[in-house]
Amino acid sequence: MAQHTEKAKAKLHSLNAALESGALNKVERILNSGLAPADIAHLIESSPPKARKVLWDLVDKELEGEVLQYLSEDLQAHFLSDLSAEELVDITSDLDADDVADILQQLPERVTQEVLDAMDQQDRTRLEQVLGYPEDSAGGLMNTDTVTIRPDITLEVVMRYLRRHPTLPEMTDNLLIVNRNNEFIGILTINKLLVSDPNQTVREVMTTDARVIPATMQDTDVAKLFERHDLVSAPVVDAEGKLIGRITIDDVVDVIRETADHSLMSSVGLDEEEDTFAPALKTSRRRAVWLGINLLTALAASAVIGLFDKTIEQVVALAVLMPIVASMGGIAGSQVLTLVIRGQALGHLSSANFRWLFNREIIVAGINGVLWAAVIAVITLLWFNDPGIAAIIGAAIIINLLVAAVTGAALPLILKARGIDPALAGGVVLTTVTDVIGFLSFLGLATLFYL
C-alpha cells in the first residue's frame, strides 16, 4: 500500500512487457490478481489500441461491468459495440442505475431498447427514471438505491430493519424519511442514529433542513452544493417533492474532474473525453477542425498586415517588431480571460461586482501597458536607433493591452449570454482581436508617421 503509485507503475510496466512478448497467460494472471476494477480500467486506458483489445478480452466476465463504468465514453462505446443485449444486461446487472444509464447512453437507441426489454421489471423502471433526465442533470446523476424509513418508528426498529439488509448501498451516510406518498420529509443521519437513545422516534431526531436536490438541477450546481456543504450524499426529488433517488460524492467527484478537464481541453479545441491513446486518424480529424478555425484568425491577421505592405517595404524593422505587439496583447488578454472564466465557474462573478472587476482590469492594463511599453521602446531604440519607431511601438503596446483587457473581461459574459462556451471559443476570439488590433495599431501608427 505504501508505494501505491509505484506499484501501479511497475504493474503497468510488466503488463506492457508481457503484452509485447505475447505472454498472454502472464497478462491474464496480472490482470486478475486482485486488481480493483478501477485499476484494470486504468491499465486499459493507459494502453495503445491494440493492447487494449487484448486486455479487455482477458478481463474476467464478472468484472466487465465494473471495469466498463470506469472507462471513458469513447472506450465504452468501442467495447460495447461487440456485445449482445443479453450480454449487456448480464454485465451491467451489478451496477448502480446511474452508471448503467451512462453506459446505455453510448449505445444506439435500438440497442438501448433491447437491453431495457431484456431486464427485469424493477431494474427497468429504475433505469427508465434515470434515463428520463438529461445526462448532465441531477436526475441523470442519481442512483435509485435509497434506504427509506417512516418518521413514526423508533430508532430501535430502524436498527432491526437495517439488519434485515445483507448490505447497505455504498456511501449511505443517512437514511431518507418519506411519508405514505413517498414525499420526502427529512433525513436521519447515520451519525445521529448511532449516538442517540434507541427508544427515541425518527421524528424526534431527524433533520428536516437537509439539502435536497431537484432532479432538474444542473450537475455543476450539484457539485457546488456538495463542495460547499461537505456532503457525502443528498436526496433527489421530482417536481412534486417525491423522493426519486440520491446522489453520492463519488459521482460528484467525476463531475468536478470532468468540468475541470473541460476547461483545460477546450482551450485547445479538444474534448474532455479525448482519449490519450486514440488512433492517429481519429485524433487527426478532431484536431484538424481546430487548426482550420485558427487558420481563419491567422488569415485575418495577415489581411491586416497586407493593408500596410507599402509601409513595411519602406521600414522593414516594422516586420521584425510587429509580432511583439500582437504577442504581448495575446498574453495579457488571456490572463484576464482565464481569470474571468474561472470566476464564472466558481460563481464569484455577478452583474453587481463585474463593474469593479472591469475597472480593475483597465487599471492593471494601464500599469502594465506603460511599464512594458517603456521597456520595449528602450529596447527598440537601442536595436534600431530610431526614436520614431520606439515611440510608435510603445503606443501600440499600450493600446493593445487596454483592448486585450476589455476583450478578456467582457468576452466570457458575451459568449455565455449567447450560449457559446467561453472555455472553447474565448481564446480564439481573443487572439483574433489582439492580433488584429496589435498589427493595426502598430502598422497604422507607423503609416501615419512614415508616409
* Positions 220 through 259 that interact with a second copy (CB under 8 A): 221, 224-230, 232, 249-250, 252-253, 256-257
Residue recorded with cell 431498447: 113
Residue recorded with cell 448502480: 96
Smallest gap from residue 269 Cβ to a second copy (A): 7
Smallest gap from residue 71 Cβ to a second copy (A): 12
Question: Looking only at residues 305 through 334 of this chain, which bind a second copy when binding is defined by CB under 8 A?
Answer: 305-306, 309, 312-313, 316-324, 326-328, 331-332, 334
The CA-CA-CA angle for residues 161, 166, 172, to 5°, reads: 70
C-alpha cell at 15: 503488463
Smallest gap from residue 160 Cβ to a second copy (A): 10
Question: Looking only at residues 62 through 121 of this chain, which bind a second copy when binding is defined by CB under 8 A?
Answer: 70
Question: Looking only at residues 285 through 304 of this chain, which bind a second copy when binding is defined by CB under 8 A?
Answer: 287-288, 290-292, 294-295, 297-299, 301-302
**In this complex, which beta carbon is closest to a second copy, that of residue 91 or of residue 345?**
345
Question: Looking only at residues 411 through 440 of this chain, which bind a second copy when binding is defined by CB under 8 A?
Answer: 435
Select from 122, 194, 240, 385 the one that contacts a second copy (CB under 8 A): 194
Question: Looking only at residues 332 through 391 of this chain, which bind a second copy when binding is defined by CB under 8 A?
Answer: 332, 334-335, 338-339, 342-343, 346-353, 356-357, 360, 363-364, 367-368, 371-372, 375-376, 379
For position 201 contacting a second copy by CB under 8 A, the verdict is no
For position 448 contacting a second copy by CB under 8 A, the verdict is no
Smallest gap from residue 214 Cβ to a second copy (A): 5
Instruction: Please give the size of the binding site for a second copy, defined by CB under 8 A.
Output: 132
For position 212 contacting a second copy by CB under 8 A, the verdict is yes
Report how far apart, in Å, the C-alpha atoms of 288 and of each of 255, 292, 428 are.
28, 6, 15
